[in-house]
């Protein structure tokens, strides 16, 4: 008998939502980083792979972005403020 462990990020909430709405979980679940622990592999190395996958897929950033509602005007102001900050930073780097 195979013993496998699964690490899944942010999956519980999405699956329960999909089940409550009678939706196909495969279609509606986004932001899931699934890592299968192979035989002979330590949990620590699988956890490192899981963390890397979560970072590479920007799951945390997406989750934080959707934790609260931003009005369209607020989004626009935030976007322009971030662009100004990025341009100032780029200008400082070019001066060096």
Please report, for the chain, the start and end positions of each structural domain, with discontinuous segments joined by +: 1-65, 69-96
Residues 6+ apart with CB under 8 A from 43: 5, 37
CA-CA distance, 39 to 36, in Å (whole number)? 10
Angle at 56 between CA 92 and CA 33, to 5 degrees: 155
Q: Return the pLDDT at 36.
A: 86
- Phi then psi dihedrals of residue 32, to 5 deg: -110, 120
**Other C-beta atoms lying within 10 Å of the C-beta of residue 93:** 8
Q: Return the pLDDT at 63.
A: 85
pLDDT in tens, the chain (96 residues): 444 555 554 444 444 555 555 555 444 455 677 888 888 989 899 899 999 988 888 888 888 888 989 999 999 999 999 999 999 999 999 987
Q: Return the pLDDT at 4.
A: 55
CA-CA distance, 15 to 45, in Å (whole number)? 26
Q: Return the pLDDT at 25.
A: 44
pTM, entire model: 0.47
- Could you tell me which of 46, 45, 13, 47 has the C-alpha nearest to residue 32? 13
Q: Return the pLDDT at 59.
A: 85
């Amino acid at each position: 008998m195979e013993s496998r462990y699964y690490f899944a990020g942010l999956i519980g909430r999405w699956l329960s939502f999909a089940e409550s709405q009678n939706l196909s979980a495969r279609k509606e679940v986004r932001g899931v980083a699934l890592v299968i622990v192979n035989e002979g592999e330590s949990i620590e190395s699988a956890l490192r792979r899981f963390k890397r996958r979560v970072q590479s897929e920007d799951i945390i950033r997406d989750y934080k972005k959707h934790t609260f509602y931003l009005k369209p005007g607020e989004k626009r102001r935030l976007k322009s403020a971030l662009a100004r900050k990025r341009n100032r930073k780029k200008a400082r780097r070019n001066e060096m």
